[in-house]
Structure 1
Amino acid sequence: MIAVRPLGLERVFEIRPERFSDSRGFFSETYNHKQFAEAGITEEFVQDNHSCSARAGTLRGLHFQISPLAQAKLVRVLEGAVFDVAVDIRPQSPDYGKWAGIELTAEAGNQIFIPAGFAHGFVTLQDNTQIAYKVDNYYSAAHDRSIHYADPALSIKWPDIGVAFTLSEKDANAPCLHEVQPMKPAGCQGVQ
């Protein structure tokens, strides 16, 4: 069984699969198509991704793919912990530009489901954090886009973990949300 909790944005959910523990450890069914469909998550996942970040404070995102290869994601932590964020980037949505965040940990076994039309990012809260996530469309470099994690218009409250964030060059130079439609190459103005 899974427990599903809305996170305040349309179809963005925290998912907690049941765990069965004994002296050996635990067993958990992390994905079951029938149970997810009963919860309203009917996407067909086609690709699994695995990411490892060596240091706490590694920030990846905010990433998304544009149509026709926009992606829904089901994200979970295999080792360590992250603060995970989804941003509604659907121009006609009443929640456009709003975000939801949640701490995902290997210990808790919780997951986040992020539908297509949302940007996704996370910052690691522990060294050697590993995440796995399913997507419902294949990766396409031609459709891959980013939004700056510190876009002032989004006002995401990233946790202060006592270290400067480590970012890729792509993420450090990503545009703000208002610059993404149409795609402009300039970096996010007003971001330090």
Structure 2
Amino acid sequence: MAARAGTSQATLSAYERGLKSPSLKVASRILAATGHELTLRTYVDWTEHRAPGIDDFSVPDRLWAVAPPMCFATITMMPDLIRGSGRDEWNLLDRAARIGAYEQLIRCGLPHQMIRWIDGGLLVDVWDELDLPDPVRTAWGPAIRAATEAPRDDALRFMGGTSWVAASARIGSTSRLPPPPTASSPTPPHPPRRSRFDPRPPPP
């Protein structure tokens, strides 16, 4: 790993034992040698809200992403407090169950529960279908609007071999199929198989 990171084994060992601290550039190279990337983490600020007739609820200042497979986890939490079905297990891979779980989490959940299981993109997808009191929907409105005011993008910009990136993913490598045979380069036919009893002499 030291060779891949462009440093010496002794220096890498010193980093591991806490005897030396790498620069940001060197730390990035070491992480790249392990197939990782030094990146920034989004911090979400939460505000507790109170409205007549409903329990206190927490509201984020922005949405966030939950990577697969956690965004499709099956979670066990409080019983269904909204529809009173007694259900307490929610498979987030199922759209209807995800709607029910998001309703429970937004109306009754704690910030550390919401940030673990509610994915911003999936939330936007079901937002209009959620059964939420008006004060809750209004309070979450700015975060939802900020997430859906996406910039325009151009897919053709990335057709020239440019390495494109997403917020939390990079292309590691790309393996391409060989080109299919064309009429100008037909696949050579297989030579006929000879039987062990074929009396003809073998070909030169």
User: TM-score, normalising length from structure 2?
Assistant: 0.24
- Identify the structure with bigger relative contact order (alpha carbons < 8 Å, sequence gap 6+): 1
Q: Which has the larger radius of gyration?
A: 2
User: TM-score, normalising length from structure 1?
Assistant: 0.25
Greater strand proportion:
1
Greater helix proportion:
2
